[in-house]
Amino acid sequence: MKAAPVWQRKDTLWLAVWIGGLTVLGLWDVAFLNRPALLRLASASWNTAIIGCAVVVCAFVFGWSSALALHALDHAGRRWGYFVVTFFLNLIRSVPQVVGILLGYVVLTLLIREEMVGSQTTQLMAIALVISIFVFLEVTDLILERIRYFRKLDFFDAMLVSGVRESRIINLDILLRNSRAHLVHKAIQLFGSSVFLLCSVDFIVSVGLSTDVSLANFPPTLGGLLATMDSKQDILAISTVLTDPLSAPRLLLEHLQGISTAFTIVFTLLCVFRMSSAFVARRRLE
Amino acid sequence: MTKRVVEHLLAIVVVGAVFGVLIARMHEEESARRTALDPAVQEALRLPFLDFGDPLDRALFRETLDALAPHHRSRHNSLLQKIAEVRREQFTTEAYKTGAEERGITSVKLLRVGAMYLQFIAIYVLVMAITVYASETLGVYRFVRMKQKKSSSLTRCLEVVRDVRLPHARRVVEAARHLALAIAKGLLSMVLFSPAYVIAYSFKTRFDTDSVVFMVVLGVLSNGLLITYAHKFTTFLVAESRKGYVETALVKNLFHSYAARIPDGIPLVAMVRLRKRFPGHVFHHIYLNAHHQYLPALKEHASLLISGLVIIEMALNIQGHLSYEMLKNILYRQYDVVLLIAFGMYLLVKGTEVTVDLMMEREARRLENRASMGGNDR
């Protein structure tokens, strides 16, 4: 079957819409937003993107390792080992993500105070690590499901009797060659959830815990920037448009920091979701 | 099923034991920290008629001590210094800033947190019921529209613009109508994907304990919860509609038109009904099987919903609610209370998991019985 041209693929289209939308917003901000706010917004967006990507990588490392460990324990007949690992994974699953990440932030603050986590890059990676602990189970479940599905097929046993190692069949033939679309879809989803969780926890930390988990400890992100008084006042101005629609243009000129930050978060979440759904539909992953 | 329930109970017992040990240890540390105060300082601070913030009272206290024990003047100096240090610590250390409240888990606090927990459960159950109904309804609606081959408002707008057969005035009106509809849908999508705090701060600056209705509305509409699960349900319906039994049902002449306004079609009323039934239509079976597959997703839904509610309560600083209490206790480093609330949330997720498992078991038994009696939903 001939593949659809790039411009007819909805997922690619949404990727273009996302990049295009953020580029237009960036150009608008360069033209109308004051320089300090522009620098803060650029830095926050960059940090959020970096953490989002790092979460995807960490979640894949954790998810892949835990799935292989579970599979190995299950097939080696080590019921107790399997039970213990499953128990801990289920424990992580039962803790609401945002609560777990918030507790992780408290630990991170203590580490920063003890100067065990120093540079900004280390802090970004540490945040990514904390978030990935609470999202990697999605990767584990996906990989286990793919292995389970392919084990039922004849090709698995055929390759085994041909002398191919089981680890090679799972990692190369099942996951890399025959589950690439599923893994790409999961990576897109994880990026979306990590941006959502990061922004939410940073917002909470900045609004509610400002004296304990000071934002000065953590690198700026979109959630933290949105929690500043200026941004909150900018967002509040949205409601004035409902009563006075003619004031809408002022939003884009006078309340740009908060509006840009909120728009970047919401637009990213929307586009990532659309990309993910379109990818599922195109590759028929249902 | 018994095995699954035992697993859940075992998990609750083990996690409860771990949380219990941690809470007890923190409680002990707190008590040890308090008893580490010099007994002489404690005794002096307990004197109700002395205000150590007043220089006159301090001088009076010191002179009294000197008069009673004139050979221990240096010890008295040191005692006064210690009292000053303890008082300074009480005024400056965040750990003491809990208003008139006693630190640690006390019976009064337990009752207050318990009431907040019950309120949290009530809101959770309400939002859960509404989102499950709304996501299924929205999922069915999207699937039926897909089957009706209805194009999006933006595509319709472009089609109308290109349609030269229509009179010019009507073309403009129709195109404007579809464009307005497309913009409205786009804005609604943005709202559904917005984190709760973005929507909330667009309308209000302050949130009080009377914000329960506002919280429920936000819980349903924000954080992408509704749209994610509606999409999930549509995905289940699409996957189900591609299965072989659907083709067989069509051959057996079951109704299969998705038009809204014909007797054998799918009317809007049937889609929005609480208990959705489409008798005689192939979609009835597609819906039932998709609904059956959707049940396990409720576990994941529960965890996300709790996260959403926690975000709403914490980000909007809604006082008198469980998550705000948790945030406050993190701020004052009362980690025993934090752990207690976290354990409460864990129990809520586990409770949902057990309920979902029981529902799945009941559903499976119902389907098996039906199969053994000759009828089959699949």
Tens of pLDDT along B209-255? 567 888 899 999 999 999 999 999 999 999 899 888 888 888 888 88
Q: With CB atoms and an 8 Å threshold, state whether A270 touches B307.
A: no
Q: With CB atoms and an 8 Å threshold, state whether A93 touches B193.
A: no
Average pLDDT of B318-340? 86
Query: ipTM value of the model?
Result: 0.85
CA neighbor of A223 nearest in space, from A271, A273, A264, A267: A264
* Alpha carbon of B166: minimum distance to chain A alpha carbons (Å): 28
One-letter amino acid identity for B4? R
B239 part of contact set with chain A, CB < 8 Å = yes
The dihedral over CA atoms of B281, B286, B289, B295, expressed in degrees to the nearest 10, equals: -110
Average pLDDT of A73-89? 88
Q: With CB atoms and an 8 Å threshold, state whether A226 touches B197.
A: yes
Average pLDDT of B26-35? 72
Q: With CB atoms and an 8 Å threshold, state whether A95 touches B346.
A: yes
Using the predicted structure, report yes or no on whether residue B43 has a pLDDT greater than 50.
Answer: yes
The dihedral over CA atoms of B277, B279, B281, B282, expressed in degrees to the nearest 10, equals: 70
* Alpha carbon of A162: minimum distance to chain B alpha carbons (Å): 34
CA distance B182 to A187: 30
Using the predicted structure, report yes or no on whether residue A218 has a pLDDT greater than 90.
Answer: no
- Tell me which of A272-276, B111-115, B262-266, B356-360 is least confident: B262-266
pTM of the predicted structure, to 2 decimals: 0.83
CA neighbor of B366 nearest in space, from B301, B291, B282, B311: B291
Q: With CB atoms and an 8 Å threshold, state whether A266 touches B198.
A: yes
- Tell me which of A222-226, A250-254, B120-124 is least confident: A250-254
Q: With CB atoms and an 8 Å threshold, state whether B197 touches A208.
A: no
A vs B, Cβ pairs < 8 A, gives: 118
Partner-chain residue, chosen from B189, B324, B345, that has the shortest CB–CB distance to A99:
B345
SS3 B281: strand
CA-nearest residue to B352 within chain A is: A94
Q: Which helix (H) or strand (E) holds B349?
A: helix B335-372
Using the predicted structure, report yes or no on whether residue B303 has a pLDDT greater than 60.
Answer: yes
Using the predicted structure, report yes or no on whether residue A161 has a pLDDT greater than 50.
Answer: yes
**% residues pLDDT > 90 (chain A):** 58
B94: which chain A residues are within 8 Å (Cβ-Cβ)? 211-212
B11: which chain A residues are within 8 Å (Cβ-Cβ)? 87, 90-91, 94
Q: With CB atoms and an 8 Å threshold, state whether A200 touches B353.
A: no
Tens of pLDDT along B72-101? 877 888 888 888 877 777 766 555 555 545
Angle between helices A97-113 and B335-372 (to 10 degrees): 150
Query: In chain B, positions 23-42, which contact chain A (CB-CB < 8 Å)?
Result: none
Tens of pLDDT along B270-287? 899 998 888 888 899 899
Q: What is the pLDDT of residue A70?
A: 94
Please report the DSSP string for B166-225 in residue order.
S-HHHHHHHHHHHHHHHHHHHHHHHHHHS-HHHHHHHH-S---TT-HHHHHHHHHHSTTH
Using the predicted structure, report yes or no on whether residue A206 has a pLDDT greater than 50.
Answer: yes
Q: What is the pLDDT of residue B268?
A: 87
pLDDT top residue among B76 and A31: A31
Q: What is the pLDDT of residue B96?
A: 55
